[in-house]
């Protein structure tokens, strides 16, 4: 299989595509509820440390492999393994990544469907003059309605796969370019609103007062998994994007900005959401519904709130769309590399992911009490194990390959920064990121 000739149209396009992959439900929906369930400031602190020490260096590792291999993930790994005369079995890391993104996309699409529902509701003015209790009750009623959920899930999968079928480097960046700054703007407005609420002080204390007593291994493990999830690292999805990266671009500079932005978006949405939680005496451990209940309440108190709310869900939808396209890309790229036509590959992947997603849809009604492992129903299972365990395992393997196995010259040139920067990266990955990930995984699992 030959090198791919596809490239992002510009340097900016690559950064936008990676930002699009990184910023999504992870920041705005998953981060707040995970923080709520894992002790607040303890989780937040660990998450930031892990993003900087593990996520960021491993993100570089992953993109470097794609960029040096210039092929779909499995083939890039096979090609570089052959160059370095190491085991061809490294290519299975690509397959493991495909399995991981498969399950992640299956629930990601369902939750993104919730944004579609809320966008329509906001436009229809369904939240006007509603009490917090009524807003909570209407979310519960929606979850209990598998048909409505399936409709939105289907629509979202169609949106995602139609772009993937056309090829990623094909203009989606332009949409991103306009929409993402608007999303940040609305989040800033929300942050400004949060400052005026009665619960703001408590939210800030809860998020930022160090609370080391709340840390146990499961909190550490969850925070690590979330750092991978939010940066889109560990499943070879960014590796697929790296294959299209222009030759003359510095990787560290590109991804550092992405990571900082990713943290900033998560913090802003956390501050906004927890201010509402504490203002209204709600429960921070409420779980996956947290954002969908708190934000309509927040917006309903802002002047012109319905317009803001509609705009917010529209932009959130775009953010999740660019993330889900990234989730789908490695699977489709692999089929294309195996000789499939892109359109057919996208249709097959889309159909399979959609089907498995139905189990997540039903996890809020018919299958709610069907437990797979411990107390976890299907949705709980796929929204926990692939992000919190599969991604770190995948990231660990990717990092070992990039730092210890692939030819060093190829790695250095794919890194694209200064030689000293490369050396720093190498030391960080070899002696910090890899051992730390391994220790957390083992301790968290045993």
Instruction: List residues binding ligand TRP (CB under 6 A).
Output: 21-22, 24-27, 101, 104, 229-230, 232, 235, 237, 323, 326-327, 391
Closer by beta carbon to ligand TRP, 199 or else 394: 394
Cα Rg for the chain, rounded, in angstroms?
A: 21
| Token pair listed for 204 | 């800030």
CA distance 215 to 68: 39
- Report, in Å, the least distance between residue 111 CB and ligand TRP: 10
Cβ density class 140-168: b for 16+ within 10 Å, e for less: eebbeebebbbebbbebbebbbebbbebb
Our CB check for ligand TRP shows the closer of 122 and 231 to be: 231
Of the pair 203, 391, the CB lying nearest ligand TRP is at: 391
Q: CA 111, 109, 95 angle in degrees (round to 5)?
A: 130
The set of residues, in sequence order, having a beta carbon less than 8 Å from that of 161 and lying 6+ positions away, is: 328, 346, 347, 349, 350
Alpha-carbon distance of 169 to 319, in angstroms, equals 17
What is the closest distance, in whole angstroms, from the C-beta atom of residue 196 to ligand TRP in the complex? 28
Q: How far is the CB of 238 from ligand TRP (least distance, A)?
A: 7
Question: Shortest Cβ distance from residue 327 to ligand TRP (Å)?
Answer: 5
The residue number with the shortest CB distance to ligand TRP is: 26
- Determine whether 131 is exposed, middle or buried from the number of CB atoms within 10 Å of its CB (0-12, 13-18, 19+): exposed
**230 versus 377: smaller Cβ distance to ligand TRP:** 230
Best CA proximity match to 292, nearest among 118, 32, 440: 118
Identity of the residue, 30 or 91, whose beta carbon is nearer to ligand TRP in the bound complex: 30
Q: How far apart are CA 265 and CA 249, in angstroms?
A: 25
Nearer to ligand TRP, 221 or 367 (CB): 221
Buried b (16+ CB within 10 A) or exposed e, 330-369: bbbbbbbbeebebbebbbebbeebbebbbbbbbbbeebee
Q: In sequence order, what are the beta bridge partners of 376?
A: 373
> Judged by CB, which is closer to ligand TRP: 26, or 270?
26
Residue identified by tokens 């291999």 is 69
Three-state SS for 373? strand
Instruction: Choose among 399, 395, 398, 372: nearest CA to 383.
Output: 372
Task: Look up residue 266 and give its two tokens.
Answer: 């998560």
Give CA–CA dist 264/258, Å, rounded.
Answer: 10
Nearer to ligand TRP, 115 or 279 (CB): 115
Shortest reach from residue 412's CB to ligand TRP, in Å: 25
Tokens of 54: 């593990």
Residues 6+ apart with CB under 8 A from 174: none
Find the distance separating the first CA and the last CA of the chain, reported in whole Å. 41
Nearer to ligand TRP, 289 or 417 (CB): 289
- Closest approach, Cβ 319 to ligand TRP, in A, equals 8
Rounded least distance, CB 24 to ligand TRP, Å? 3
CB nearer ligand TRP, residue 203 or residue 237: 237
Is the CB of 224 or the CB of 367 nearer to ligand TRP?
224
* 88, two tokens: 């061809």
- Residue whose CB is less far from ligand TRP, 31 or 274: 31
DSSP code for 2:
P
């Amino acid at each position: 299989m030959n090198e791919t000739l596809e490239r992002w149209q510009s340097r900016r396009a690559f950064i936008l595509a990676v930002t699009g992959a990184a910023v999504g439900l992870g920041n705005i929906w998953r981060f707040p509820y995970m923080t709520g369930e894992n002790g607040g400031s303890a989780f937040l602190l660990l998450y930031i440390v892990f993003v900087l020490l593990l996520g960021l260096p491993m993100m570089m590792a992953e993109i470097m492999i794609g960029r040096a291999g210039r092929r779909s993930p499995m083939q890039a790994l096979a090609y570089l393994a052959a160059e370095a005369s190491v085991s061809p079995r490294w290519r299975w890391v690509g397959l493991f990544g495909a399995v991981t993104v498969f399950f992640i996309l299956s629930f990601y699409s369902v939750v993104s469907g919730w944004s579609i529902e809320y966008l329509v509701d906001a436009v229809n003015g369904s939240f006007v003059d509603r009490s917090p209790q009524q807003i909570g009750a209407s979310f519960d009623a929606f979850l209990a309605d598998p048909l409505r959920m399936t409709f939105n899930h289907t629509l979202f999968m169609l949106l995602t796969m139609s772009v993937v079928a056309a090829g990623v480097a094909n203009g989606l960046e332009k949409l991103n370019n306009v929409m993402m700054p608007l999303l940040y703007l609305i989040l800033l407005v929300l942050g400004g609103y949060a400052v005026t609420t009665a619960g703001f002080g408590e939210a800030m204390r809860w998020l930022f007062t160090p609370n080391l007593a709340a840390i146990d291994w499961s909190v550490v493990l969850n925070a690590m998994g979330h750092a991978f999830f939010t940066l889109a690292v560990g499943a070879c999805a960014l590796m697929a994007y790296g294959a299209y990266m222009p030759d003359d671009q510095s990787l560290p500079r590109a991804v550092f900005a992405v990571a900082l932005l990713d943290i900033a978006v998560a913090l802003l949405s956390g501050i906004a959401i927890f201010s509402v939680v504490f203002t209204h005496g709600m429960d921070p451990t409420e779980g996956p519904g947290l954002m969908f209940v708190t934000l309509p309440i927040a917006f309903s108190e802002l002047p012109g709130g319905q317009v803001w709310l509609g705009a917010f869900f529209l932009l959130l939808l775009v953010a999740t769309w660019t993330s889900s396209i990234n989730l789908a890309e490695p699977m489709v790229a692999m089929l294309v590399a195996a000789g499939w036509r892109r359109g057919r590959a996208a249709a097959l992947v889309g159909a399979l992911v959609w089907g498995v997603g139905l189990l997540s849809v039903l996890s809020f009604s018919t299958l709610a009490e069907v437990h797979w492992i411990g107390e976890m129903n299907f949705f709980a299972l796929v929204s926990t194990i692939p992000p919190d365990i599969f991604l770190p395992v995948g990231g660990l393997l990717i990092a070992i390959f990039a730092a210890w196995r692939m030819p060093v010259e190829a790695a250095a040139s794919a890194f694209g920064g200064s030689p000293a920067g490369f050396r720093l990266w190498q030391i960080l990955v070899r002696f910090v990121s890899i051992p730390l990930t391994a220790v957390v995984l083992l301790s968290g699992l045993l």
